[in-house]
Structure 1
Amino acid sequence: MARGKNAVNRSKKQSGKKNKSFGNNKHYRKDKFTNKKHAIKDETKQRDFRKFHHKRNDSENSNKRRRVDEEIQRKDLTDDESSELETDDFKQLLSTFGDIVSSQKKAVESDSEDSDSENSESENDSCQNKLSSLVKDKHIDDQKLKSADVAEEKVESQYFNAGQNLQDDSEEFEEEYNDTEKEEPDDVSDPFTGHFCFDIAPELLDSVSVTPPKTQVHTENWPTLGQLIFNIPSAPVTSEKFLNKSYFPKVIIEEENVYAKSGTVPKYINEVNWSKLHVKTQISKNLSKANFSNLGALDENNPSPLTPLQKELFSIVNNYQDLFYPERNLSNGEEVRFIYCLHAVNHVLKTRLRILHHNAKLSRKDDVPEEFRDQGLVRPKVLILVPFKDSALRVVKMIMDILIPDEKANVMNKNRFLNEFSGSELIMPKKNPKPEDYEATFTGNTDDTFRIGLTVTKKSLKLYADFYSADIIVASPLGLRVIVGAEGESGRDYDFLASIEILVLDQTEIFFMQNWDHLLHILDHLHLQPRESHGTDFARVRSWAVNGWTRYYRQSMVFSSLTLPEMNSLFNKKCRNYAGKVRVINPVISGTICQVVVQLPQVFQKLQASSSLQLIEARFDYFVKKVLPQYKDSIMSHVLVFIPSYFDYVRIRNYFKREDMSFVQICEYSKENKIARARDMFFHDEAHFLLYSERFHFFNRLRIKGIRHILFYQPPTFPHFYSEMCNLMQVIIFYMNGSFNRPVFKKLSIKNKLFLQEANQSRHSGADSNMTVTVLYSKYDVQQLAAVVGTERASRMVTSERNVHMFMTGD
């Protein structure tokens, strides 16, 4: 007990000393706060405060000062209360600045870590400059400055980081902000600025909004791409006002409107200079390595960072014009992928730099000028549609190599992405290998239901970002179709598609084999008015986005290995870029008919139809009334009917059932046991006809044995399927490294050739001379027909008065 009393006494003595010390300094502290109070009331500084406090109520400021005066005049304060009072006045001052800065209109682009931390850093710099100026004018001593620094840190936390779990990267912001000072984003020579920073002239809008658009057609021949057709919307005279502006115009009410210039025919690139091509410096140093590491080799004789094909593709793409390139194949697929990934990353970085640059300027402004409109209705800007997860894996890896090639770079959720998008590969047979194109198409993970958002910053990449905070969306048509849903479904969402500025369709021919309707459904939901605001700052939304003109600004790129009427229709109706569109149209010299090695007659019969809709009925009637009766005789057994469209397949199958004809069927919905049974019955002549769908052949590539006659209900979608099916009629195709090797086959002895024939044909199926191929075609099938027989032949066959044309192997 005694020990406890002594401790209490010592505590009281120490407390008394503290109170005494406070009493000696009480008048000094009171004078200090009184001087500061009078300084604030100074008339000159009142004008400065009114400048900073233009949005605050005068009565509220008066009440705050009255409360501060009452606290200063208190005499009986404890030591803790006095220390709090010393900084409280500065807190009041700093909180006033904080209210001003927080009231500035900021870009609400997303909740990504990097953008928010950079915005707050820029605002803090502005707040610090204002505070430093005021403190210097009033000669506040060093002790108060230290207190102000502590209080400022609290204000930063309160006003800029409250309620957000964001990663602070001040060094990255400082470096990127320096870039904003060096790289002015309002360079009118940059196609990005010229395309997105101006409204369309009324005359130009009228040209692109009508169906069909009013365009001027130009034709050119480039060294690598070949023949190009440019469709440029008619250019109004008023839009040329843009060309006379050497600076970024400020559009105000009193000024004459400045419109976007119309599109022009691009000049193809001879020498690659990334600066002149307006490629961001932060990625330009990575491009050579990223490109040739994906191509697999570096050509020492060609020091250019782009191949000749890539130069010409980038000449068009960088000009923000629509492109339809129907010659993507196994050899140039990676070259094409690199170009659109480079363009997408460069576009996102330019948009990001522009927003950061405007944020820094807006921190010193009271309102948002018209020139600072730099956003869409939602954040996602780039949509890349690919058919399989393996394709998405290649796209994301390419973006990583372009943006952050370092293996230790900051890529969020990288391991999760690699686990989900790799593996699950199809096992290719070694005994009877699949064709080379099949193995290349279905390599890796072939899952077709996926979607992933990517958020791009200067030095990091976030995978699996929420769509409304993502810059790039990589998905399959089916993956997005699940989210977009159908009318009347609950929980459907398509607002994230409202502001897509770049659309990429890669391997479009596979979309046609999967489900073309899914793709059309996605395109129909682009640029619809969002149902919710999603945190958008409408003061920063571009005027053309508010007007609903985003579809005329969107750049679309369609890459395919073939040309189909459906693709042409999509490119003509869904792509309305006011800068114009470019399509590659090269004639087919020989066609796949030259790859047929079996000696047999190939007959092409022409149908007459007045329209594509009437063609459906005309084709069916011609088939069942004129063609099919010729193959019902027992001599014409082992007939395979090759049907490209599933709807036609179902119609013919139902007809065969009604007529009680001897047939078996194989389609993409057939089960494995029924497929095996149908193949066996057809080979052993237990079924006269085999109905065979092209989609099944695309996904399986089986070698059907026992074929003596082939009826192509329509020219095949994939032209190499024609020669592939014809070559199955006589021998098993001799493959070496996955492709047919004609010289090796010719060296085989007659005995071995007969063995191959017997292995592929039934001994009792008929004579070798009794084999035929018949193809039904019309003028609406000219593109598929040209891919089979060549452009020149197809043109003659369509325009000729003769309805029957026959070719023999070797002609």
Structure 2
Amino acid sequence: MAIDRGSEVTTQLLTLLNVSATKAGKRKWEEGDNKPSEKLNKRKTLHFEDIPRPQPSTSATTLEDTETRKSESEEVQKDEDEEMEDKTEAVEEEKEEDVEDPYEVHFGANSKLVTDSRREIADNKSWKTSKGKHGKLGGIVEYFTDESTKLESNNPSKIAILDRLKAPFEEHQSKLPKELAALQNALLSLLASQRDLYITRTTLETQQSLREAIALHALNHVTKKRRRVLKNNERLTHASKAGTAAPEDVQDQGFTRPSVLVLLPFRSFALRWLSAFTTHTPSPSYQVENRSRFESEYGLPAGAVDKLATAEPGTYPKDHVEMFKGNMDDSFRVGIKLTRKSVKLFSEFYGCDIIFASPLGLRMSIQKEKNADFLSSIEMLIVDQVDALTMQNWEHVQFVMSHLNQLPKESHDVDFSRIKPWYLDGHAAYLRQSILISAYETPETRALFNHSLKNVAGKVRTERKWQPISVPEGIDQNFIQFECSGPKDEADKRFQYFTTQLLPSVLKSAVQSVNTVVFVPSSFDFIRVHNYFRKTPGINFTVLSEYSTNQDISRARQSFFNGKKSVLLVSERFHFFRRYKLRGIRNLIFYAPPDHAQFYTEFLSYPFMDDGVEPSDVTCRVLYSKYDWLKLERIAGTEGASELITRGTL
């Protein structure tokens, strides 16, 4: 298999080289070419939609957006001036470089991590595993290829951050509670090992601190990469002036410049990540260009009032406020270029270092341009709020993942003599570091971790025991298990049990056949159940889904509360996006346990919004199989879920 793959990669690469050499204006790579290399991804002509619009400055440390109206030649000159300063920095800070730096060991041109045996283990998913603890991150499950890639619990990786980034970080961290500071340090020490990390459980209190630590790690990565490129540029220039042969060890680039991709569900999270990144930039000299435009396009429109942010505490659940306050647009992408003294927002994609984007925004861009070359050299992938992305269209995430680290279709004026060997070998996916952050796990997110992450340095998944969720006392919770032979027939077996046994027993009861809510987590199952209700006589129902209009919602809630409709069919995505409180409930049927455990508690508490309701008046049935383990664990607790799976009773 390795030979076949190598042949395929070689063929594609030769094709790319030939295309590069024959296109007009492209630089042809020849053996023995000793000319100093042009800078990576030299600037291209800006399109009209890429030209930033001037906006008033919002802070003393932000450049006026009128800078964006300068001619291209002026901006290029400014970039060159800053690069000269960066070269000086690279020379002055050269003493910081360490050949044993985890960055150089992992991402350096001479990285020896990608071996045939390790690639085979990653491809076949035959990882070795072990369990342990890692500071405030708590319990972890480690996946490794061999003992040399196994974490040493007694000798954690150092936090290898450059001094110029570490200073503002430590100053900011000193103001945090000790628990959060310890959590950040544990996270940074693990990230320094360059392993993939899947944080499976976050709280509202820790999310921004986690973002700040991860942003520092990403900034450190981009800075070290830039310094290496600038240092080699200087070496090539000296060799050219001296008339000597160019040094051979100058492989320091990928096919394209962007190296960090941050996937986010909504525009509001891009603002939070920008804040996390700029927390570590030296102030007051550091400048953020086009910030006012960014805040305008990624915040709320001028004069708009955020009802969630301004509502009295307790009006909406805290997690709902944190998720949906601000700009909820889910189609966006923005390039960010880093220099020594500035962050340049709205940089064109092939000239930026970091990309903030939603899965939908990237997919639309890729399909429009008919290539994803700007994703060919991503060395760090960060996916925030993975649980929220499962409530959108998960296929968009899978689409983006399938286009990461593929050989580009065009050369983009890159100097092939400076591309790292493992890029040319088509092995970039085996070195990419991926960081997933989620409030809870789902089968989709676990599958993403298991099947799409192939970092041969290893990967780590956090693991903690869950305690039973609190529900109103006195309610009889009836967990009903159905049997299925495998995950492929699970959906059919669930539907069969629901339509032939559970639903008929409910409809026969005069009490349980009215004031009944059927809660369906999966969109596929929701459509299936909805169609069944429509075709079955005798079911007087109404529907609340994520596609319901405000008028539909008002009509459905009113008719259910007044008893005009006996059954209310609700999708989990509706509750995720709307979070309405529903009155008139006496009977609850969970077609499957909800992904978000808090939804279970909320629906069981809704009947008590009505006067005179006793716990004995409320019934609750939960249909589940052994493949609902992750959901059950969050509701019944780790021990309770184990008992449910083995005995079928709570």
Shorter-chain TM-score range: 0.7 to 0.9
Could you say which residue in structure 2 is the equivalent of 1:33?
Answer: none
Whether the 8 Å CA contact 2:123–2:454 is kept in 1: the answer is: no
Change (3 A) 1:608 1:325: same
Residue 313 of structure 1 is matched in structure 2 by: 187
Which structure 2 residue ranges, 5 or more long, are not aligned?
1-32, 45-71
Deviation of residue 793 (structure 1)?
A: 1.3
Which residue among 357, 362, 371 is the counterpart of 2:231? 357
Q: TM-score, normalised by structure 1?
A: 0.68
Per the alignment, residue 322 of structure 2 pairs with 440
Residue type of the alignment partner of 2:150: T
Would you say 1:343 and 2:217 are equivalent positions? yes
Q: 1:290·1:398 contact (CA, 8 Å) conserved in 2?
A: no
**Distance (whole Å) between structure 2 residues aligned to residue 162 and residue 678 of structure 1:** 60
Q: Would you say the 8 A contact 1:215–1:231 is kept in 2?
A: yes
| Counterpart for residue 645 of structure 2 | 798
Q: Secondary structure at the match of 1:423?
A: coil
Q: How does 1:692-707 map to 2 (within 5 A)?
A: 692-707=570-585
Could you tell me which of 118, 123, 142 is aligned with 1:230? 142
Per the alignment, residue 717 of structure 1 pairs with 595
1:462 maps to what in 2?
A: 344
Determine the C-alpha separation between the residues in 2 that align with 1:518 and 1:783.
Answer: 23
Q: Structure 1 counterpart of 2:132, which letter?
A: E
Amino acid at match of 2:298: F
Deviations 1:285-310 (A, max 9, x none): 21133446xxxx445xx5x9x71111
Which letter maps to 1:166? Q
**Correspondence 1:549 to 2:430:** no
Q: Distance in 2 between matches of 1:578 and 1:432?
A: 46
Counterpart check, 1:426 vs 2:318: no
How is 1:531-610 mapped onto 2 (pairs within 5 angstroms)?
Answer: 531-588=409-466, 590-592=467-469, 595-610=470-485
Matched, 1:287 2:163: no
RMSD: 2.5
CA distance in 2, matches of 1:516, 1:418: 27
- State how far apart, in whole Å, the 2-side matches of 1:426 and 1:266 are: 48
Alignment counterpart, residue 265 of structure 1, candidates 151, 172, 193: 151
Cα displacement string for residues 680-732 of structure 1 (whole angstroms, at most 9, x for unaligned residues):
11112111111000100011111110001000000100011111100112x23
Pair 1:768–1:312, CA change in 2 (3 A): closer
> How far 1:264 sits from its partner (Å)?
3.1
Q: Which gives a bigger RCO, structure 1 or 2 (Cα 8 Å, sep 6+)? A: 2
1:167 alignment counterpart:
78
Once residues 224 and 313 of structure 2 are traced to their aligned partners in structure 1, the CA distance between those partners, rounded to angstroms, is 52
Find the aligned partners of 2:331 and 2:73 in 1 and give their Cα distance: 38
Q: For 1:158-307, list aligned pairs within 5 A.
A: 165-167=76-78, 170=81, 173-174=84-85, 176-183=87-94, 187-197=98-108, 198-200=111-113, 202-212=115-125, 214-234=126-146, 262-266=148-152, 277-291=159-173, 297-299=175-177, 307=181
Does the CA contact (< 8 Å) of 2:588 and 2:621 recur in 1?
Answer: yes
Q: 1:332 and 1:163 mapped to 2: Cα distance?
A: 43
1:652 aligned residue: 529
Q: Which stretch shows the higher mean deviation, 664-673 or 365-374?
A: 365-374
Q: Can you list the C-alpha shifts for 1:164-220, whole angstroms capped at 9, x where unaligned?
A: 8421665873464254254257622100000012144534444344322x3322221
Is residue 180–residue 356 contact of structure 1 (8 Å, CA) maintained in 2? no
Alpha-carbon separation, structure 2, partners of 1:176 and 1:439: 45
Q: Does 1:496 align with 2:350?
A: no
SS of structure 1 residue aligned to 2:391: helix
425-434 or 311-320, which deviates more: 425-434
Partner secondary structure for residue 258 of structure 2: coil
After superposition, the Cα gap between the structure-2 partners of 1:337 and 1:790, relative to the gap in structure 1 and judged at 3 Å, is same
**8 Å contact kept, 1:176–1:458:** no
1:799: Cα distance to partner? 1.8
Displacement, 1:367? 5.3
The residue identity in structure 2 corresponding to 1:207 is: E
SS of equivalent residue, structure 1 residue 757: coil
Kept in 1, the 8 Å contact 2:474–2:615? The answer is no
The match for 2:492 among 617, 625, 636 is 617
| Equivalent runs, 1:27-106 vs 2, <5 Å | 104-106=35-37
Deviation string for 1:529-570 (max 9, x for gaps)?
Answer: 111111111100011101110000000001100011111100
Q: From 520, 536, 540, give the equivalent of 1:643.
A: 520
Change (3 A) 1:367 1:795: farther
Paired with 2:413 and 2:83, the residues of 1 have a C-alpha distance of 25
Distance 2:246 2:611 in 1: 78
Partners of 1:640 and 1:109 in 2: CA distance: 59
**In 1, Cα distance between the equivalents of 2:159 and 2:154?**
11
Distance 2:329 2:315 in 1: 22
Say which SS state the counterpart of residue 369 (structure 2) adopts.
Answer: coil
| Residue of 626, 637, 648 corresponding to 1:779 | 626
Cα 1:794/1:285, change in 2 over 3 Å: same
Specify the alignment match of 2:398 in structure 1. 520
Deviates more, 1:306-315 or 1:606-615: 306-315
Alpha carbons of structure 1 residues 551 and 432: separation in structure 2 relative to 1, 3 Å = closer
Distance 1:398 1:680 in 2: 44
**SS of alignment partner, residue 445 of structure 1:** coil
Q: 1:430 to 1:168 in 2, by over 3 A?
A: closer
Change (3 A) 1:222 1:547: closer
Q: 1:496 to 1:291 in 2, by over 3 A?
A: farther
CA contact (8 A) 2:560 2:584 kept: yes
Name the amino acid aligned to 1:617: D
Cα separation, partners in 2 of 1:364 and 1:409, compared to 1, 3 Å? closer
Indicate the percent of aligned positions where both proteins have the same amino acid. 33
Q: SS where residue 790 of structure 1 aligns? A: helix
Please give the alpha-carbon distance, in whole angstroms, between the structure 2 residues aligned to 1:693 and 1:669.
10
Kindly state the Cα deviation for residue 386 of structure 1 after the two structures are TM-superposed: 1.4
Which letter maps to 2:352? A
Aligned-pair CA distance for 1:678: 1.1
Displacement of 1:327 after TM fit?
1.6
- Residue 405 of structure 2 aligns to a residue whose secondary structure is coil
Q: Which amino acid aligns with 1:289?
A: E
**Aligned-pair distance for 1:522?**
0.5
**Shift in Å at residue 266 of structure 1?**
4.8
Secondary structure of 1:403's counterpart equals coil
SS where residue 166 of structure 1 aligns?
A: helix
| Gap change, CA 1:718 and 1:177, over 3 Å in 2 | same
- Residue pair 2:476, 2:616 contacting (<8 A) in 1 also: no
Give the match's secondary structure for 1:610.
coil
Q: Distance in 1 between matches of 2:162 and 2:352?
A: 20
Q: CA deviation at 1:371?
A: 2.2
Q: Secondary structure at the match of 1:473?
A: strand
- Structure with larger Rg: 1
Structure 1 residue runs of 5 or longer lacking an equivalent are 1-101, 114-160, 236-261, 733-755, 762-766, 807-811
Q: Which residue of 1 aligns with 2:48?
A: none
TM-score by length of 2: 0.84
Query: What one-letter code is carried by the residue in structure 2 that aligns with 1:221?
Result: K
Post-superposition Cα deviations, 1:96-126, rounded to whole Å, max 9, x if no partner, equal xxxxxx971315413369xxxxxxxxxxxxx
Q: Quickly say closer, same or farther: Cα 1:432–1:222, change in 2 above 3 A.
A: closer
Instruction: Tell me the SS of whatever aligns to 2:556.
Output: helix
Aligned AA for 1:313? L
Give the count of matched residue pairs: 577
Distance 1:162 1:641 in 2: 63
Distance 1:397 1:432 in 2: 27
Alignment partners' CA distance in 1, 2:261 and 2:79? 29
